[in-house]
Amino acid sequence: MTEIPEHLRKRAEAAKAKAQAAAGGGDAPAGDAPAGDTPAAEEKIPSHLLDRTTAASDQPAPTAGGTAAPAAGSGPDGHNQRLLTVVKSGSIQDTKATPQDKVHVWPHLLLAEFLAALAITLFSLLFSIFVNAPLLELADFNKTPNPSKAPWYFLGLQELLTMFHPMVAGVTIPGIGLFVLILAPYIDKNPSKRPEDRKFAISLMTVHLMFWAVLVMIGSFFRGPGFNFIFPWNSGLFFEL
Amino acid sequence: MADEKKPAGQALQEQLSQLTDQVQGSQAWSSIFRPGSIFRKGYNDSPRNRSYVIMNSVLYHLHPVKVKRHAVKVSYTLCLGGLSFFLFILLTVTGIFLMFFYRPTAAQAWDDIQTLQTAVGFGLLVRNMHRWTAHLMVLTVFLHMARVFYHGAYKPPREFNWVVGVMLLQFTLLLSFTGYLLPWDQLALWAVTVGTNMMGFTPVFGEQVRFVLLGGVEIGTDTLLRWYTLHVLMLPFVLVIFLAVHFWRVRKDGGISGPL
């Protein structure tokens, strides 16, 4: 499922092959080295370093530097060399962050975006060719249409106005709804994003969204003259977009 | 015949590729198309060029060079945020077209739209597109909000971007509502009458807000001018600023939210 990008995989394969070749070359002298001088450290210390220390200890040692050091003496060029410690790469170069699986935006994301934009342009173009936007007769202050309806996204509010005092329906309820919506990230302290961990939040939001959706539906399709309740299949539609 | 045609075609092909080389090799061409442009000479599909396409384009560099693999899954975002932005661009383009033919006065507004629909080339089509995409944008912004909520994408560190997003939803509604009055027909007048009457019930300063928005105690030609200015200038201006913050925060907060 998680596919490594092509160029990264190639690079990793090349690096692996190179490492293998290097390891193959390094093994050869290790086989020649006389074993038994440093039995405990043998598997941890790189073979070429072992070689060097054994070669040095074979020569007559002029000074004894330390007791812990396996060998000390003058090296091949007459230098005094001592192997203090070998730090294995794992202990200091440990990568803790796992690399993220990423893809290039071009073409992977831009292509999807382009197609989506194309599709919605095509949809709105075709829709606009076949369906005309409403233009009723000139505005007339003396002729109130019956029913008078707000734009569809405010019909939920208009619907509330039929049930409550304007102060409650027009201000308090939508005000609280909006306020809670804005504060949602600060109210919801649950750190999990998994749906099964946030059943309450999801239920609450669904009820909230459905509340407005149902009110808008009723206001749009089930309200006729005098904003009285009607069934659209009996009395027809009183709805303009 | 075939022997004669083939060399002729080849010669033409050679000439064409020569011409392409010359044009693409010219200083003007390579000054216009920056490295990584697919029109630049020697473009090939390499990781470096894929990065350059994004970095060296004023439009595309809204995006990072790379995104998490799951972020490009259409089933996660449903493209809703991007589509809302694209609809906003579409509305700007069609709206500018409409502005050429519209005067926001009670005496002229309705006639101008009537003329636009009957006498201006593509006038009806562009007006239709402006209206339908406006409704569509309200819908996509709303669905985008629902999508973000259900994915829990508003959780830290993205809390503030959610707040910006809710503001953007309100600006979208206000833009749609201010545009609703502009045709100055019966639908516009009475829908806005109902809407602004609700506004008047806001406690303390409700009447004042209504007065300022209407430019008087009743809807009239002053209202039309005010809402026109709000619709074509002020609200889009404010919305673009919030949009910039919204996009910027998406990147700063670590790209779009992770998989569930």
The encoded tokens of residue A168 equal 């409650």
Q: What is the ipTM of this complex?
A: 0.89
* B153/A185 CB distance under 8 A: no
Q: Closest residue of B to A167, CA-based?
A: B201
B83, B127, B154: residue with CB nearest A120: B83
* A148/B65 CB distance under 8 A: no
Distances (CA, A) of A236 to A221, A232, A233: 9, 5, 6
Give every CB contact of residue B198 below 8 A, 6+ residues apart in sequence: A150, A154, A157, A158, A161, A166, A170
Please name every residue paired with A162 in a beta bridge, in sequence order, or none if there are none. none
Q: What pLDDT score was predicted for residue A92? A: 66
DSSP characters over A73-87: EE-TTS-EEE-----
Residues in chain A: 241
Is some CB atom of chain B closer than 8 A to the CB atom of A131? yes
Token pair 């912004």 in the structure block, residue: B141
**How confident is the model over A194-231, as pLDDT tens digits?**
999 999 999 999 999 999 999 999 999 999 998 889 99
Mutate to test the interface with A, among B155, B161, B181 (most CBs of A within 10 A): B155
Do A173 and A164 form a contact (C-beta atoms < 8 A)? yes
| A80-82 and A102-104 strand pairing | unpaired
At A139 the three-state DSSP class reads coil
Cα distance from A224 to chain B (closest Cα, Å)? 15
Do B107 and A140 form a contact (C-beta atoms < 8 A)? no
pTM: 0.78
How much is the average pLDDT of A129-141?
94
Q: Name the region of A226 (left: φ>0; alpha: ψ -120 to 50; beta: rest).
A: left
- Which is nearest to A137 in space by CA: B180, B183, B102? B183
B129, B159, B190: residue with CB nearest A185: B159
What pLDDT tens digit does each residue of chain B (260 aa) get?
Answer: 455 556 788 999 999 999 998 999 999 999 999 888 888 888 889 999 999 999 988 888 899 999 998 888 888 989 999 999 999 999 999 999 999 999 999 999 999 999 999 999 999 999 999 999 999 999 999 999 999 999 999 998 999 999 999 999 999 999 999 999 999 999 999 999 988 888 777 777 888 888 999 998 889 999 999 999 999 999 999 999 999 999 999 999 988 887 87
Q: What sign results for the dihedral spanned by CA atoms A200, A201, A207, A210? A: negative
**How confident is the model over A30-41, as pLDDT tens digits?**
444 444 444 444
Chain B residues within 8 A of A223 when measuring between CB atoms:
none
**How confident is the model over A109-129, as pLDDT tens digits?**
999 999 999 999 999 999 999
The encoded tokens of residue B106 equal 């009670």
Residue A62 DSSP class:
S
Q: What pLDDT score was predicted for residue A75? A: 55
Q: Closest residue of A to B133, CA-based?
A: A124
The encoded tokens of residue A107 equal 């073409």
Do B251 and B257 form a contact (C-beta atoms < 8 A)? no
Please name every residue paired with B66 in a beta bridge, in sequence order, or none if there are none. A104
Chain B residues within 8 A of A5 when measuring between CB atoms:
47
Do B158 and A185 form a contact (C-beta atoms < 8 A)? yes
* B150/A110 CB distance under 8 A: no
Chain A residues within 8 A of B198 when measuring between CB atoms:
150, 154, 157-158, 161, 166, 170
